Structure 1
């Protein structure tokens, strides 16, 4: 008769997520995961099937959290759709410039994905499509309100904002400062608003 498990899977996944967020999938070792989770290698294999499977489990939870956060940010709160997108982008600039913020597993997976038809690439693509769908819903609402041209390519713009936010996250991880990320966010919004009137003459230092 198998012995009952003495650990909580969600706690193990959470601890493993921290390792994967720092090192990524390829560079994380089983020893790293053993130290972080407190489980032996065999227990990790028995419970999750291996390092890659554990990463996919952590990625799935990260994806749900990211989707929920963007959905809440772009949800109906009294502001216009474009105002919600603007507020969301500016909040991302603040969050991504924080020195203690870890990179999301969604972005880690996007960087490490090979584009081939494997589970990692499939899950990563599905996550990106899910995020794009949330942006598309908000943009479609803006078009219905007359805030976007009738011929605006909502799907393309949605993917564009996913790409910009993922790029901002990586720039923040590299140490790019808040003022630069804010400028990136505002320039991204020009795709919706046209040229920005308050555009600075000089590009701020990446450390500002």
Structure 2
């Protein structure tokens, strides 16, 4: 009978996310992961299978958490463009703490379209973000806050692209005010 894990899986995955966000998949060594997670090699393999399975679980968890932050911002009781701005700016990370970088964007840059499992996770996350933006944009149109001629699908794609770019800019050193001005400029085109 296998021994039960002697560590908090959620905490270990959260720590692995930070290591992968800092280094990427390939450059994150097993030693880095073990040290950060505070577990032994046998525990890693017993609980996760291998570094790849750990990465996939970390990416899935990161994407779910990022989407939850965005949805909370989008669902807040405020005008559509204010809610969308908040969703664009939540959880961007920074250059001051490289471990807050976007695991999703990082994995797209690192893997491109070469890994079907990473692709599937990122594609699912992208569809969920598009749907969340589309829902809020449609509500804004319905409430008369946005023009009825707005192409909600195209606007949602623009917002997804903008969010990815904002994450890269944050990692590259842009401060919160620069990111906010960028988001507002883009959002002005929707009004």
User: Normalising to structure 1: TM-score of the pair?
Assistant: 0.81
1:6 aligns with 2:3: no
- Name 1:83's counterpart in structure 2: 82
* Unmatched segments (≥5 aa) in structure 2: none
C-alpha RMSD of matched pairs (Å)? 2.2
1:30-49 alpha-carbon deviations (Å, 9 max, x no partner)? 11111112223232122111
Question: What SS does structure 2 have at the residue aligned with 1:192?
Answer: coil
CA deviation profile, 1:146-203 (whole Å, cap 9, x unmatched): 333333221221121111112111111111233432221122112212xxxxxxxxxx
Encode CA deviations 1:89-115: one digit per residue, 9 max, x unaligned: 4x44x9655733711222222322322
Q: What TM-score does the superposition give when structure 2 sets the normalisation length? A: 0.88
C-alpha spacing 1:5/1:168, structure 2 compared with 1 (3 Å): same
1:20 counterpart = 2:17: no
Q: Secondary structure at the match of 2:156?
A: helix
Match of residue 99 from structure 1: 96
Structure 1 counterpart of 2:144, from 132, 143, 146: 146
Cα shift at 1:87? 4.0
- Asked if structure 1 preserves the Cα contact closer than 8 Å seen for 2:93 and 2:102, the reply is no
Matched, 1:157 2:158: no
Where do residues 51-130 of structure 1 align in structure 2 (5 Å cutoff)? Answer: 51-77=51-77, 79-89=78-88, 91-92=89-90, 96=93, 99-100=96-97, 102-116=100-114, 118-130=116-128
In structure 2, what is the Cα distance between the partners aligned to 1:178 and 1:12?
29
Does structure 2 conserve the Cα–Cα contact (< 8 Å) formed by 1:44 and 1:50? yes
Aligned in 2, Cα 1:74/1:142: closer, same or farther, shift over 3 Å?
Answer: same
Gaps of 5+ in 1: 194-208
More helix as a share of residues: 2
- Counterpart Cα distance in 2 of 1:44 and 1:172: 32
Q: 1:95 and 1:115 mapped to 2: Cα distance?
A: 23
Count, aligned residues: 190
Tell me the distance in 1 between the aligned counterparts of 2:66 and 2:44: 26
Superposition pairs for residues 151-190 of structure 1, below 5 Å?
Answer: 151-190=149-188
Conservation of the 8 A alpha-carbon contact between 1:97 and 1:178: no
